Amino acid sequence: MKLFDSTIASEVAAKLLEIQAIRLQPEKPFTWASGWKSPIYCDNRLSLSFPDVRNFIKDNLAKAIRLHFPEVEAIAGVATAGIPQGALLADVLDIPFIYVRSKAKGHGMENMIEGKVTPGQKVVVVEDLISTGGSSLKAVADLKAAGFEVLGMVAIFTYGFELAEKNFEEAGVSLVCLSDYAAMLPQAVADGYIDNGTLTSLEKWRQNPSIWKQD
């Protein structure tokens, strides 16, 4: 996993914190579907409601793609949160857009991939958030099964779990993110969302999220 730019990472984190797309509640943690207790909740779909944030993210994702995946011929969004981000990107880059469902449509053409399927086309996958990477890499596998050449993936934010890094490495998929948990923490302290005492607890969660506050 690569960060596009360290300065951009801090700026993206600041904007996501400001619009409450990232919420930090170490004393009243969120519970994920996996059962993990988490001091953070990240909903980057909120960025779509703020034009300045939306445009900042869109422009920098486009720059990341031009730098790391210059051969891109199409953008593929991952349902559902990657769809609007991907469509915005495809418009900026003036290339085709498709999206990948989590499961095949249950009626009609029963499509897994929506849009024109062009075998051999070079695509970059767009996600809003990376946790373990499971659903994201499933989308990559579905695209490859349909005949696409997947150049890599871009995302707005990642928690930076070791499991995710391992999953992407094993799948041979290059991932470029605008920001991550490590860049967000000092920004949250600088902007007054948390103090240094709270920072310790947040860092412990990152080290071993599966057992954090489970006793």
Q: Which residues are annotated as a binding site?
A: 101, 105, 107, 127-135
Choose among 48, 47, 112: nearest CA to 76: 112
Q: Does residue 182 contact residue 160 with C-beta atoms inside 8 Å?
A: yes
The whole-angstrom separation of Cα 73 and Cα 124 is 8
Going from the C-alpha of 29 to that of each of 39, 44, 168, 193, 205, the distances in angstroms are 5, 19, 28, 15, 11
Q: How many other CB atoms sit within 10 Å of the CB of residue 206?
A: 17
The whole-angstrom separation of Cα 150 and Cα 166 is 18
The whole-angstrom separation of Cα 41 and Cα 49 is 18
Q: Which residues are annotated as a binding site for orotate?
A: 131
Q: Does residue 211 contact residue 38 with C-beta atoms inside 8 Å?
A: no
* Amino acid of residue 139: A
Q: Which residues are annotated as a binding site for 5-phospho-alpha-D-ribose 1-diphosphate?
A: 101, 105, 107, 127-135
123's enclosing H/E stretch is: strand 122-130
The whole-angstrom separation of Cα 136 and Cα 112 is 14
